[in-house]
Amino acid sequence: MALARTTETIGMGGAPAALEARGITRSLPLGKERIDILHGLSFRIARGEFVALIGPSGSGKSTVLGIIAGLDSPTGGQVLVDGIDITRMSEGQLAAIRNQKIGMIFQAFNLIPTLTARENVEVPLYVGKHEGSPSARAKEVLELVGLGHRLDHRPTQLSGGEQQRVAIARALATRPAIVIADEPTGNLDAKNSANVLNLIRELRARTGTTFIIATHDPTVAAAAERVIRLYDGRVVGDGTPEEVGITEAAAAEGAELRTQPDGVAVAPLPDGVRR
């Protein structure tokens, strides 16, 4: 399927943003009324960025992830992935976008238990058109994540950290424009969590892939180079971890929230920094 790229998101150097959200809204019916979940979210993520979406339960993180991954549709606004407007695509077109442009990493790994590590990574390569041998590409990305010696092991023969590495390799297999990770360290202990975050930073540097992780944990968000803070379906902070109030100390202690006059709880910002 030919994927048409819009020219509106082309910036300097002729390269489109990896992801762009423009005024995204989402509402759901409740009886005769509607509940607003997202309130006009806008942000732009350049190619090669490592970005964390952080917010408490109910902040809209999961809804945002579903929309930017093409699993849900916004009520209003636009979503562009690698310069392609996916907002009003059919399910068939969205499936092609997910296969070609988007890699997904899940908290629970979502590996197929009867398949080996290599076979799990091969799965997305048998959908759509991809260059080269699926087996060779799976071996390449598994070696990239440090599991070249575990190619023929099934998930039950791997540790939790190793299973998440297989999931990361699977997400990278199709050479996507963006990799979206939903609480990727949620099922891991502190040591394996740190290892996975370090691996993501290394893979971003080596492959130039854009990584977007969703988390409620300031420690995880502090590992990213940019943090977008969500609260009540709104962006309430966007910048480096320090600029949105997530310093190493704040991450270790848990960011202290303060309540604004309008009732929105946000993390304190350094002096002179505006949201």
Which tens digit of pLDDT belongs to each residue from 172-182?
999 999 999 99
Enter the tokens of residue 133.
């041998």
**Residue 259 pLDDT greater than 50, yes or no:** no
**Residue 267 pLDDT greater than 70, yes or no:** no
18 domain-assigned: no
Residue 3, pLDDT score: 53
**Residue 271 pLDDT greater than 50, yes or no:** no
Residue identified by tokens 């509940």 is 35
Identify the CA nearest to 224 among candidates 54, 77, 84. 54
The model's pLDDT over 134-179, given as tens digits with 9 standing for 90+, comes to 999 999 999 999 999 999 999 999 999 999 999 999 999 999 999 9
34 domain-assigned: no
**Residue 130 pLDDT greater than 60, yes or no:** yes
Q: What whole-number distance in Å separates Cα of residue 7 and Cα of residue 70? A: 20
157 domain-assigned: yes
38 domain-assigned: no
Query: For the CA atoms of the chain, what is the radius of gyration?
Result: 19
Q: What whole-number distance in Å separates Cα of residue 159 and Cα of residue 164? A: 9
84 domain-assigned: no
202 domain-assigned: yes
Residue 16, pLDDT score: 77
162 domain-assigned: yes
The model's pLDDT over 13-43, given as tens digits with 9 standing for 90+, comes to 456 799 999 999 999 998 889 999 999 999 9
Spell out a b/e string for 133-168, using b for 16 or more CB atoms within 10 Å of the CB, else e.
ebeebbbbbbebbebeebbebbbeebeebbbbbbbb
Strands (E), 82-125: 84-85, 102-105
Please give the tally of structural domains in the chain. 1
Q: Are 49 and 64 in contact (CB under 8 A)?
A: no
Domain of residue 202, residue span: 49-73+100-266
List beta partners, residue 11.
none
Instruction: Read off the pTM.
Output: 0.83
Strands (E), the chain: 19-30, 33-45, 50-54, 76-81, 84-85, 102-105, 178-182, 210-215, 226-231, 234-239, 258-259, 265-266
**Residue 131 pLDDT greater than 50, yes or no:** yes
The model's pLDDT over 235-256, given as tens digits with 9 standing for 90+, comes to 999 999 999 988 655 555 443 3
Residue 262, pLDDT score: 36
